[in-house]
Amino acid sequence: MRTAKPQDAALLRPLFESFYGDYLEARTSEAVRRNMKAAASVDTVLLATVDGRAAGFASLRLIPQLEAAAPHAELSDLYVADAYRRRGVGRALMRSAEQLAREKGSSRVVLTAGLDDEGARAFYRALGYASFGLTLQRHLEESA
């Protein structure tokens, strides 16, 4: 487990394609590298490897808050490639993300799981996460 660097873009790109699917705009390693550099002040990507192969990633955002001195830690993404599931990779990514959040001064990690993704919700609950709110979204069209 390690913090991914922009130089890891070629390793991350296939994982990103599997996880983000049609939502992924960064379809080349160079685009992934560029996006990682742009997000570096807020987003830390953790990369899990098994025998030198990319097995999964987690993305942790640390966001300053108005109501507290400590930053808000948000696990924005977690993905483990099919071949590495049920082998402890997801748990290791979560432990690393939580440790990073602690090191950066956050006392909690918040995440969003899809309403129809029972497996993800069961995974997070098994790690001690509990529901506390509802995340909503709205896609903004170019011409509003």
Asked whether 6 and 36 are in contact (CB, 8 A), the reply is yes
| Number of neighbouring beta carbons within 10 Å of residue 90 | 22
pLDDT at residue 26 in the model: 76
Residue 68 confidence (pLDDT):
87
Alpha-carbon Rg for the chain in angstroms: 16
The residue ranges of DSSP E strands in the chain, in sequence order, are: 2-3, 43-50, 53-63, 72-80, 109-111
Nearest to 3 by CA among 50, 59, 52, 42: 59
The values of phi and psi at residue 112, to 5°, are -120, 135
Poorest-pLDDT segment among 57-66, 118-127, 130-139: 130-139
Cβ contact 124:110 at 8 Å? no
Please report, for residues 21, 25, 132, the alpha-carbon distance to residue 31 in angstroms, rounded to integers and kept in the order given.
15, 8, 35
pTM: 0.90
Residue 100 has pLDDT above 90, yes or no: yes
Amino acid 144: pLDDT: 56
Q: What is the average per-residue pLDDT within 96-110? A: 95
47 φ/ψ angles, rounded to the nearest 5 degrees: -115, 125
- 19-47 residue pLDDT tens: 988 887 878 889 999 999 999 999 999 99
Distance (Å, rounded) from C-alpha 41 to C-alpha 47?
17
Q: Domains of the chain (ranges plus CATH)?
A: 2-111 (3.40.630.30)
* pLDDT tens by residue, 64-89: 989 888 998 999 999 999 999 999 99
What is the SS3 assignment for 63? strand
Joined tokens for residue 115? 């309403």
In this prediction, residue 136 has a pLDDT band, given cuts at 50, 70 and 90, of: confident
Instruction: Give alpha helix (H) positions in 21-141.
Output: 29-39, 89-103, 118-126
pLDDT band at 143 (very low <50, low <70, confident <90, very high): low
